[in-house]
Structure 1
């Protein structure tokens, strides 16, 4: 696992909240496309929950998620937590953290996913029923363009010689490993990549909620998009879990 390679660097990070200057550094750089001012960095997000029933897929971890993941990993390493548990804990704390997680839970509850799973709220997926959930991104590792969070466009993942191989090699492997889960691609940029896998016969379309909007607060049309597809998505959930 990559965490073993980066553990000394992470353990030495200063206490408290970490800044971009401490994380967007050469020591964590995995890949770069200078012509597009694009850089891709390591994050301790390798854990895969193969028994999950719900599989939520984002674009790429943003800086907030990167920050929380590294703070969690640092604290776990300094507390003597075994390496094999650290990626799992970092992902639990950081996945879709903040406003995006609240928006996501709200949407999932309106689709009555919790009823299909026999739990009280979709919020339990991120807490006591984490055993039901796997989260990842089409690009597992954080991507930044000119130092800003990559949004899935400019360049398109499907057209990027840098990004698409990560989707094909890592995200697809996770999709195949977590074979019994309902797939929820968040937004158009993610759906396009999962659609390409489905077109190749690699992922079953009936598993995928392709019209689920990205829950980011930056997506001002998310509720309009959500309401337009709510009934269809709700039926898909019922049919999958039946």
Structure 2
């Protein structure tokens, strides 16, 4: 991995942001997808909450590479530079507010003796670890971001990333609460549960994704919108079931 870290220090960021992935960052090309290095190696071993996306997009990867370059320019050690680069994955704005409200609603803060999930994200806090089912950026042949097809668990290379990199993080954070953001992340975590690498009791699958596109589902989950106000696109019964299951799951953990 050292070779890729060295290469990231000199990447032309402007070209990278335009969709040009340099060969020196390419970990491998496999059929319709390619895996590229970006500095997402750091694991925050003191985290109580782990947020898991599918894979870093190009913008997120470029921001991490830029942070790495700036850290090295400021004479930071490599370990510190990797930590700073990983921290650029911060989860902010309305998405964070929605996630905090949903975690509060199912009782997660009480599990750690806290009054609100906002405390996980407090300034100077070291309680959240951001990661992805596929640690390094995955791109399609045309340079676009990968969004879940082909199925990561059905693709041998992508599956191996889950069973190596994500499994490493699961082993490092056995007492944290794991929150998958999206179906791909949830399926990946459940795969590790099936492999015996991750404790399924600590995986909170079923929370609506906290993006703006899920505003109605989030509002109903939080009781801010009634069933009769929902559009036909929102399955109230499914959300009710998920909310109650998650509440009971967290209650059992706290006990």
Q: Does 1:28 align with 2:44?
A: no
Q: Deviations over 1:105-128 (max 9, x none)?
A: 453344453454455653443453
CA distance in 1, matches of 2:204, 2:107: 14
CA distance in 1, matches of 2:198, 2:3: 32
The total of aligned residue pairs comes to: 236
With normalisation by structure 2, the TM-score equals: 0.78
The corresponding residue for 1:138 is 133
Q: 2:36 aligns with which of 41, 49, 53?
A: 41
Change (3 A) 1:141 1:14: closer
Q: Deviations over 1:55-104 (max 9, x none)?
A: 22111111221122111111111111111111211111224467654543
The corresponding residue for 1:182 is 177
Change (3 A) 1:121 1:91: farther
Shift of 1:155: 0.8
- Mean Cα displacement is larger for which, 139-148 or 210-219? 210-219
CA distance in 1, matches of 2:18, 2:215: 30
Where structure 2 has 5 or more consecutive residues not aligned to the other structure, the ranges are 219-233
Contact 2:135 2:166 in 1 (8 A): yes
Change (3 A) 1:61 1:176: same
1:48-67 to 2 correspondence within 5 Å?
Answer: 48-67=43-62
CA distance in 1, matches of 2:21, 2:214: 25
Q: Deviations over 1:121-140 (max 9, x none)?
A: 53443453542222211110
The corresponding residue for 1:91 is 86
With normalisation by structure 1, the TM-score equals: 0.81
User: What RMSD, in angstroms, separates the aligned Cα atoms of the two structures?
Assistant: 2.9
Change (3 A) 1:96 1:113: same
